[in-house]
Structures are given as C-alpha cells and as structure tokens.
Structure 1
Amino acid sequence: MRAIPLADDLFYGAVSLEHIDGGIKPWRIPYRDLALFLPNGIDSKAEICAGVRLRLRTDSTSVIIMFAPLEEAARMDCTVDGALHSTVALLKGDSAAPFTMLPGEMADLEIFLPQNTGMTIIGLRVMSCAEFAFFPDQRPKWVTYGSSITQCVDARSPSYTWPAIASRRSQFNLTCLGFSGNCHLEPTVARMIRDLPADFISLCVGINVYGAATLSPRTFKPALIGMLETIREKHSHTPLLVISPIYAPDRETTENKLGFTLIAMREEISQTVALMQNRGDRRIFYLDGLELLGLADADHLPDGLHPDASGYELMADRFVDRGINALRDKGIFL
C-alpha cells in the first residue's frame, strides 16, 4: 500500500484543523480560541468528531485510516457514492481502521469519524497501484447546533446520526455542532456560527438549559434573542430554523429548580421566533420538537431523554419532511 500525504482538503465538517506532529486533529470550534469556549473547550465536547468526514475519490479496493490510539471504543463508517458500504468497530487503544472490499473502480468515498470521541488522523493508505484524488464537497453548507440529541452518541454509527442522514438525503454539506450536555446559547458559540459559511442554519435549543437550569424564564428568551441577532449580523438572509425540545416524559410538566417546564420552554421558543418574524425577518422559522419525536414515540426514549438508534433515524426522516422539505415547499431553498 502507499501513503497519501494528509491535507486539509481531505476534511469536511470541522470548524478548524490542528496540525500536530504530522497528524491532523479536527475541532468543532476554532481551536486557537479554546480558552474562550468554557469550560475546557465546551466541556471537552468540541474535540469530538461528530459530523466530521474524510472525502476522497479512488479506485482502491482497500483504504486504511490511521490515527492516534483511541481513548474509548468507537465506530467509523465508509460510504461509497452516497450509500453505506461498511462500518468498522474500534476498541479503546486501536489506531487504524481498514475499509476493505471496496468496488475497485473510481468511486466517491466519505469516511465518517466517530460521533463519541476525538481523533487525530496520522495516516491514509490506498493500494499501491490505485488512483487517488480529493473529493470536494460542493453541496450547500448546513450548520446545525444542539445538545447530545444532535451529537447522537447512541446512533448505530456516525453516518446514522439524524443530521448525517438528513444531510445525505437532502444534499447538504454538514457541520454538526451538537455538544452533549452543553447547548447553553453561549455568546462565543453564537459568534462562531455567525462567522461560519452557511446556506442553512438550524438550532435545536432548550433541553440542556432545562436540565442544568442555566437560564431562567426571565433570562432564556433574551439569551435566545441574543444568539439569533448575533447570527443575523453576517447571515441576514440565511434560512434559520429554530427547533424546540423533543418529547421528554419526565420534563414536560415537571418544573426544574428555576421553574421551567418543557411545555413552557417550547412556548418561549415559539414566541421568540414569532417576535423576530414580526420585526421583519422573513427567513426565520420554528419547528416544534414534538414534530420530530413526540408522545407516541416514547418507546424510542429508553432513558426518557435520548432517542435510541431507531429514534434518531425517525427524527432524520421527519426533519427532512417537516423541516427541510417544508422550507423547500415555501421556495426557501433553490
């Protein structure tokens, strides 16, 4: 096999790329500003590779991705011409993922890095006689922000998170900013989203604010307005979809320590979007999280909060139909 020199052009879905001793580490924040994303890089979630992919075009029958030893077990996926070809299950300490029995003719490969851990890529190998080229992602850019329910650790594999499925079906170049336990409408995150190139932005907000009681009924709506207004500074016409929490049986009517329920939080989010619309924003929209996963889908919530693998796939189907396609029906996307 022969080594392919690593290059930034291989990576998609990362906000920044750190070059470390011959390797490349993807980050979902600007890594040079790590100190600003408290605590410790959004509680260490910013280095997790949710949504990050390697894209290449090759006729190699085998491709090997090499990386620094994993800190925990994970999975990686390889799609060929947009369809899942294989999943490699990795153990803690593993440092290579072989994808074999590939077509052997020129094909577009997208290799999804794990959605539950960070990874520093240190090598890429193809068969000695194989052709190789970078595979640019020229699809419209979609930035999605949220919690663990957007990061999707319990999806069956990294290409089967709901954002990954939805982006594949709807032909978007995904940047996933799902930060488990850490979707708190921070100003630094708002500024980061503002500064990212995007043709579509979605924000799934509220569940972590409820769980950690980080914002009260007094401060939640102003914080959300602040995030939306910050994003609009550079994305004044970008379609912006704001999503409220999916169903969570123990949180619907139970007040947290600041007096919030999910029912009240959904109303606050809906009212905020309506306020922005009434001020003239014609490209901001609201999607009730219950449209993605509601009371009738409670069997897909084994812990009463996080969807199971089938639940994430159901969310993807509904997000495409009730989110993206609904906007397309309005003429929002070309």
Structure 2
Amino acid sequence: MTWLDPQPFLRGVAWLDQGRPVRADPADLGRLPWHTAVRAELPIGVRLEFATDGARAVEIHYRSSPDAEGSTTRLPDCFALWQRTGPVSETLVDPTEEGIVTLPLPKDLSKGSDRWIVHPPETRSPLVLGVRAIGGSLAPPPEQPRWLVHGDSITEGWWSTRPAHSWPARAGRLLGLDTVNLGYAGSAHGEPAIAEQLSTLSADAVTLAFGTNCWSEVPYSPAQLYETVRTFLAVVRQGHPRTPLLVVSPVLRPAAENARNRLGATFAQLRTALEQAVRDRIDGTSGRAGGDGGAAGPRSLEGLPGAEQGDRHLALLPGREVLGPQQLTDGVHPDDEGHAALASAVADALRSLHPQGIQARDH
C-alpha cells in the first residue's frame, strides 16, 4: 500500500504555500488587512476527492495544528465522507499533531462511484501528507469547472454545523463545480488587493457576496460602497472579462435594516447602493449612490474597462428576500437551513446566467 502524493486529489485550492493550501496569495499578504491574512491561513473548503476501484477503505496521513485558532478545546477531529448526493459517514479521531485516519467505504456504494469527497476538520488546518487505498486503488476524479466564491463569514460558512453544509459547498455540489472558498470572516470590504488576487486566479465562474461588514465593522456610506463595488468589479473583470460572474447582495440583517451606522447609512441603503452598482455595470450606465442609497444622476464609466458596453456575463441576486429571520442563528449568520436556502438561490441564479451549465475552459 504505497502512499500517494495528495496534491492531485486536493480540490478547492486557490494557492499553495510550501505545499499547504492557503486562501490568499502568499506573495501578496502585505497589502491585505491583518485579519484577512489570518483567516486565509485556514483551509476553508479544501477537500480530498477521489475515485476508487474496489477499495474497502481509504487512509489519510496528515499533520495538523491542534490550536490553529487559539482554541483550548480538545474536541475530536471530524473527517466527513461524502458523495455528491449526500453524506456517507463521519470518522472522529482524537486531536493529534500527526496521524493516520482510516475511512471505511460502504460496500453498497463503492461500486460505480466516480467521486468520493472527504472534508477534513478545517479549524486545525490539517496538511495532508499522503493518501492510499486499502484493497483496490485510488485515482483523482475528473476535474470540474472551477468556481471562485468571495465573501465574508457567511461565505466562510459560519454557523453551518459541518464544512459540507456551508452554502458554497452545497451550491458547488448542486452544480458540479470545484468550489474555491475565499470567504474571510470579519473582512470582505471590497479591498482592491483582493480583487486583484481574484483576477489572477483561473476560474470558470465567480461569485461575490460581500457588503455585510460594511455597515458596522468598517462603516461605509452608500456612495462609498457604490464606488467600491464598481471598482472591485472592474478589477476582477480585468482577469475574467467574460467569465460568468454573480453578485449576491447582503442577506437579511433584521437589527440593522433600518438602523444607521456612524456615517448615517442603514443596512438597507447599503444593500441598495451595492445592487445599483451591479445593475449599472450590467446596463453599461452609471449613477451615483445618494444618501438614500439610490442613484443620484448619471455619470461616466471612464476608467472601468468594458463597462460602457454593458456586461451580459454579470448577474445580480438580491439577497434581502432569500432568508427569513427564522433561518438566522444570531440575527446575522444562517443556520444549516439558511445555508441550504442560500445555496439553492445561488445555484438557480448561476443556472439562469449560464443555462447550458458552467463549462470548464483551458486555463
């Protein structure tokens, strides 16, 4: 039973830093906010995928950081085995700096399955050192179209009970995409450096879902957020001029909808400004977000490449009506039911944007 190089089996990888998957360009961390760089060290959404011929089980050799988030808890590590249609099993192991976990493959499912998915425990940042089959053989499954998803803690999957339950993971399975999760809790304010990094990554589809943290953590005015979004889109489009691109505006936040931040903006006004910036890019027109969150007169789109012709590969999913208050655990983050609802809405929006399905291109 020879250990196989894990890299051909890894999915959801944006960058590698000395063999470890990371979620920001390791050569460009100096321009990122400190908190974003810290969150980018966690391998959120990174998973192992494999096909097998007759294997009874798969073994994973890994090295982890038991307290990657500074936690003092000693909860078991969970390795979750999935197929695209749903969960198969979970294997719990005691936290360790280096170990081997064995995941049995059910006999009734092992025949004819072309894709098994393993979600490792994310918070301890496990580095997979090798994989091997017990009986039979393993091989990397066919590559899927690559989907970049950028956002905040909701995109990162907060309050989902398992990594596989986050809305990007769910939507990726629904659409048959290789989801690359670039959600950064406490961040995602439309930073230009993040837009530039997104523009350099290969992608067959892109989704942006930020704006929630622009109400309180780093307060924005409607006009400021409008300009931020139009600039962010322009930079992303420099690297992905015709890639299907979906923008999801912030979901319901009951306590903030009509409350004003220190710049006088309500959450609803910020959402309106973000949506207007996207619609203007789609139409090839532009307004200026006023104090009420709406457009305040036309203005040119000089300096935004391609925007003056409109963008038929760009779509908007208004987030306000996607979730109800009963699907929010803390008034901000969705529970598992909310993540499922958001995943379904995003999948439907991407299908509408690209009815024939997202296709992989040569990168």
Q: Same fold (TM over 0.5)?
A: yes
The alignment partner of 2:216 has SS state of helix
Identify the residue that residue 173 of structure 2 maps to in structure 1: 168
Identify the residue that residue 257 of structure 2 maps to in structure 1: 252
TM-superposition CA deviations, 1:208-249 (whole Å, max 9, x none): 111312433342221111110001112111121111111111
TM-superposition CA deviations, 1:282-301 (whole Å, max 9, x none): 221111112321xxx21121
User: Which of the pair has more CA radius of gyration?
Assistant: 2
Identify the residue that residue 34 of structure 2 maps to in structure 1: 39
Identify the residue that residue 133 of structure 1 maps to in structure 2: 139
Moved more, 80-89 or 226-235: 80-89
Tell me the distance in 1 between the aligned counterparts of 2:132 and 2:178: 25
Counting only pairs closer than 5 Å after superposition, residues 41-120 of structure 1 correspond to structure 2 as 42-58=36-52, 59-69=54-64, 70-71=66-67, 73=75, 74-80=77-83, 82-89=85-92, 92-93=95-96, 95-103=99-107, 104-105=110-111, 107=113, 108-120=115-127
Q: What is the identity percentage for the equivalent residue pairs of Structure 1 and Structure 2?
A: 26
The alignment partner of 1:219 has SS state of helix
Note the C-alpha offset of 1:81. Answer: 6.0
Contact 2:256 2:266 in 1 (8 A): yes
Contact 2:62 2:128 in 1 (8 A): yes
Identify the residue that residue 307 of structure 2 maps to in structure 1: none
Q: Please tell me whether residue 220 in structure 1 is matched to residue 225 in structure 2.
A: yes
Matched residue count: 321
Q: Please tell me whether residue 282 in structure 1 is matched to residue 312 in structure 2.
A: yes
TM-superposition CA deviations, 1:150-181 (whole Å, max 9, x none): 11132222222111111111111211111111
Tell me the distance in 2 between the aligned counterparts of 1:43 and 1:234: 22
Moved more, 162-171 or 72-81: 72-81
Q: Aligned match of 2:340 in 300, 313, 329?
A: 313
Counting only pairs closer than 5 Å after superposition, residues 14-25 of structure 1 correspond to structure 2 as 14-19=13-18, 24-25=19-20
Contact 1:144 1:202 in 2 (8 A): yes
* Structure-2-length-normalised TM-score: 0.81
Q: Please tell me whether residue 5 in structure 1 is matched to residue 4 in structure 2.
A: yes
Contact 1:201 1:241 in 2 (8 A): yes
Contact 2:219 2:261 in 1 (8 A): no
Tell me the distance in 2 between the aligned counterparts of 1:134 and 1:228: 34
Q: Aligned match of 1:324 in 350, 356, 360?
A: 350
Counting only pairs closer than 5 Å after superposition, residues 116-195 of structure 1 correspond to structure 2 as 116-127=123-134, 129-137=135-143, 139-195=144-200
Tell me the distance in 1 between the aligned counterparts of 2:2 and 2:256: 51
Tell me the distance in 2 between the aligned counterparts of 1:309 and 1:114: 18
Contact 2:221 2:270 in 1 (8 A): no
Note the C-alpha offset of 1:46. Answer: 0.6
Tell me the distance in 2 between the aligned counterparts of 1:267 and 1:80: 38
Q: CA RMSD in A?
A: 2.3
AA aligned to 2:87 is: L
* Structure-1-length-normalised TM-score: 0.87
